Structure 1
Amino acid sequence: MSNIDIRHAHSLPPEQARQAVQDVADKLADRFGMVTGWSGNTLNFSRSGVDGHINVAPSELHVTAKLGFLLSTMKGPIEAEIRRVLDERFT
């Protein structure tokens, strides 16, 4: 198993940050069959081989994910794509 742990600063108002995270989650659900749901300010996402969370704080997003055996071999590209999307949506 591999873990992803990314902290990303942002300056969006809370509702706008939450909506941007939801937009990304909707794309993940459509593209990869992710199941998503909110618990307070944390978006939980999962599917076979991955279980993760995105916490929306006032000035920071905290992305954590546990990758199963097969996806752990792709940790580098997955982490790079997460960082790219965060830079694109939250800068």
Structure 2
Amino acid sequence: MPTIDIRHTHGLDPAQARQAVQHIADTLAQRFGVQQSWQGDSLMFKRSGVDGRVHLEPGAVRVTAELGFLLGAMKGTIEDEIRRVLAERFR
């Protein structure tokens, strides 16, 4: 399975970072039906074709995901969009 592993540094405090991740997750849930749940400092997400997590680290956020066959063909586009959103939300 194709995988995504992106780490993005930021200057937000932990509460702001968690709020930013939750905002992104809520948008994904509304637009694409992504299921989500927090496990400690990680937001786990899942839907047909993708299974992953967003992990909050001190001064960074890390997105990892396994893509199914169909979404795997769009891996580059998906990674570009993740990087764009992270750069926008995590300065």
Q: TM-score band, normalised by the shorter chain?
A: over 0.9
Q: How many residues align?
A: 91
Aligned partner of 2:35 in structure 1 is 35
Q: Distance in 1 between matches of 2:61 and 2:25?
A: 14
Q: 1:62 Cα shift?
A: 0.7
Aligned partner of 1:89 in structure 2 is 89
Q: Distance in 2 between matches of 1:20 and 1:60?
A: 12
5+ unaligned residues in a row in structure 2: which ranges? Answer: none
In the superposition, the TM-score normalised over structure 1's length comes to 0.98
Q: Distance in 1 between matches of 2:66 and 2:48?
A: 11
* Structure 1 residue 45 corresponds to structure 2 residue 49: no
Helix, strand or coil: the match of 1:12? coil
Q: 1:85 Cα shift?
A: 0.1
Q: Distance in 2 between matches of 1:16 and 1:87?
A: 15
Q: 1:57 Cα shift?
A: 1.1
Q: Distance in 1 between matches of 2:81 and 2:75?
A: 10
Aligned partner of 2:24 in structure 1 is 24
In the superposition, the TM-score normalised over structure 2's length comes to 0.98
Could you tell me which amino acid in structure 1 is paired with residue 9 of structure 2? A
Q: Distance in 1 between matches of 2:2 and 2:27?
A: 23
Could you tell me which amino acid in structure 2 is paired with residue 36 of structure 1? Q
Q: Distance in 2 between matches of 1:2 and 1:31?
A: 23
State the percentage of identical aligned residues: 62
* Structure 1 residue 3 corresponds to structure 2 residue 6: no
Q: Distance in 1 between matches of 2:60 and 2:20?
A: 13
